Every structure is written in structure tokens, then in C-alpha cells.
Amino acid sequence: MPNEVMGDAMGVVVVGSANMDVVTRVPRIPGPGETLLALSFARGGGGKGANQAVAAARAGGAQTVFVGALGRDADGDALREGLADAGVDTGVISVSDAPTGTALISVAEDGENAIVVVGGANADFTELSGEQRERVGQADVLLAQLEIAPEVVLAAAQARSEGATFVLNAAPSAPLSEQMWAEVDVLVVNEHEAADLAESLGAPDRDLDAAVDRLAERVSALVVTLGGKGCLVLQDRRRTQVPAVRVTPVDTTGAGDTFVGVLGARLALGDDLVEAARWGSVAAALAVQRPGAQDGVPHADEVRAAR
């Protein structure tokens, strides 16, 4: 059984974005030109990178370092504090003169959401410092997404040590360079991102099975999340369907990030990819029953008890 003691755990380094989420709860997602009165308003930590770092540390139980950028402002201070409270090492976060990134989120009563992101300091994060490269080189699992400059993600992948696993959550959708494809050990996408990536590789249509086949030609390990249908894990051409945990969602914001962060943590702790995906699915199911991206991330003992 893998060691789950934080002090002895192998490490995850998450390279990515951090945002202050400004969340309004609304009866439904407004259409073009429509004005709605919000039911409530809240602020909280967000950004794919920071969300996944919180999930890796709090729900996954792995030692976790976050590499990203925050502004010299109150939002940056609050996000740094929130990461630290979750057990994330914040010692190599860059400080930018740009404002901290912001996400404007509307959450409907059925749990669905619509999000607009203002990059801010994330857009100003264009290269790794020497200290950040050093921490990346110490990772057992490097986890990244596509909300920051692709050159930073690629530089991090190339800076990891031999034997370290690079997990790329290719979200939001964007074509990958040949250099990036060559670095990816585990690709994690949802079904829409899978279709987008396959299309960028010349797939003739947006059929999910065809997309999965095309992506499996480029990576040895692939995880496709399917919402309420669970996820599909492909490794060395073997397919495993991991079912979802049936719950009634309150807020789906950050659920995918919870899945990915926990998956990365469990890989670092020694689980195989299918088992790591099972942990991620349970953690995501717990997360959607609570409001907030980072606030909704469960603790590792809750995930363990729900398995």
C-alpha cells in the first residue's frame, strides 16, 4: 500500500494559474443581452493550477508545491494564504506587477456554470525562475494545464527529472506543439477537449471514439473525463471505464480540477492510473456537492471514507 503520510509522501509540483473567483449564483445562466438578479455573491480561490494544487494536497494527501504568479494586491495575499492553509508550499510563487487573475463565474441553480477569466498576473507569467526550475526538478509528478503561457508549461516539462511523470490537463482547449506532445506522459481531457485535440491532429469528425483512438496514437496514457458517466482510462491501449459516483450537484465549478489534482497526487503516492482515477472520481463527486472551487475540495479522510 502506498505511503499516505504527508511527511514521507512523494511530491507533486503544479505549474499553472491562480485566480480570485467572483461568483454569483443565478436562477439560470443568462442568455445574450439578458440581465438577471443574482441570488447571492461570493469570492474565493480559483484558477485551474491553484485548484489542482489544493486538491493534490488536501484531498490527495501528497506533498504539493505550486508554481505560478500572483499580483501585489489583496487578492494575491488571500490566494497565497488559502493555498498555504490547504497544505500547499507557496515558497516559489512569482509576484507580478499585474493584478491577480480574476474569474467571473455565474452558477445556476442546477449546478451548471459559465466562466469568464481575466488573466492578469497569469498572463504576465512567461518564464520560470531558477528557483522554480529547481523545484520542478524535484517533483515525482509534474502537473500542468493550459491557462498560462504554453512556453512556461513546456519549459517545466523539460525541467523535470528523469523518471518524473508529466501529467498535462489540456484545458482550456488548445492545439499542442510537437515538442509538447513529446513530453506528455499522461494526458487528461474532457470529451470536448478530446474532440478539439483530435481535430487539431486531423481527425475527420468529432466522434468521441475516433478522438480517443487518435489521441491514443500520441500518448501512452490517456484519461477522458465524461461528467456523470465517469471517466475512460487508456494505458498501453487497454481501456478501463471508471464509473462516476451518483450525486446531486450543487456547484460544478472546479470539479474537474479536483479530479485532476487528486489523480496527480495518487500517482505520486504510488497508485496506478486506474486507481488514481477512482480516487479522483470520488473526490470530484464530493466537491460538486459544495459551493466554491477550492472551498469545495474535500479532505483526504473524506475521500477515503466515501470509497
Indicate which residues carry an active-site annotation.
257
- d(Cα 148, Cα 126) in Å, to the nearest integer? 8
Residue (of 92, 114, 87, 99) closest to 28 by Cα position? 114
Instruction: Burial-class residue 139 by CB neighbours within 10 Å (0-12, 13-18, 19+).
Output: buried
Q: Which residues contact 270 (CB under 8 A, 6 or more apart)?
A: 2, 3, 10
Cell triple for 190: 474532457
Dihedral angle sign, alpha carbons of residues 242, 291, 41, 94: negative
CA distance 79 to 90: 10
